[in-house]
Amino acid sequence: VSFGDSLIKHVVETLQQEFPRLRTFATLSPIPGLRAWLGKNAGAMIERLDERRRNELGRAVGVDSPQAVHLLDAADRAQSLDEGSPVRQMLLQCAAHYLARALVDGKPVDPVARFHLGNGARVERLNWAGDPSAKGHKQSYGMMVNYLYDLKRIDKHRSLLAEGKVAASREIESLSAFR
């Protein structure tokens, strides 16, 4: 039993004692490695876009053929992006891909994801501007993530991770697949 596992169980037990009707257990967590990862992988992420989406992204960043440098420059202004912005949508998709599909040796690249997923959580939801601080912007363009602990599925989620698969909500799966 890892420290994280016993810590999660202790927190859940404490919350259940204090709030007996509480049934949903989720975190609001940072994504500390996203910006560095995207700095190395932005070009590959742009290549995943279909022609229509690539053209939309190009128009949003003011070029015909968007490259990694254009996305990264636009991402620096993440907090000012409108909800419908192609750059914002692209950053959300990249974050979902990073959390749900970026693995090394079958484990998530992101250290916080590795902790929560290793303890049986699933990647539930991205939160745009969840951390608008300078540190939040420097780590993840201000995005944060919810990890959901479904007590009935913790063992299933751990088993998935042991197979090199990340438990994720439908929303995260869809975003990460660039659909």
What pLDDT digit, counting tens, does each position of 107-119 carry? 999 999 999 999 9
Give the count of beta carbons closer than 10 Å to the beta carbon of residue 101: 16
Read off the pLDDT band of 83 (50, 70, 90): very high
* Active-site residue flag, 116: yes
Choice among 20-24, 40-44, 53-57, 164-168 with the minimum mean pLDDT? 20-24
Taking Cα atoms as reference points, which of 144, 153, 98 lies closest to residue 125? 144
Q: How far apart are CA 68 and CA 56, in angstroms?
A: 15
Q: What is the DSSP letter of 119?
A: T
* Active-site residue flag, 157: no
**Catalytic option among 2, 6, 10, 29:** 29
Beta bridge partners of 145: 29, 126
For the four alpha carbons of 27, 77, 139 and 91, in that order, the dihedral sign comes to: positive
Strands (E), 16-175: 25-26, 103-104, 107-108, 122-127, 144-149
- Position 4 scores a pLDDT of 66
CATH architecture of 23-176: 3-Layer(aba) Sandwich (3.40)
Give the list of residues 6+ apart from residue 42 with CB closer than 8 angstroms, or none.
Answer: 68, 71, 72, 94
**Catalytic option among 116, 137, 140, 157:** 116
Domain spans, the chain: 23-176
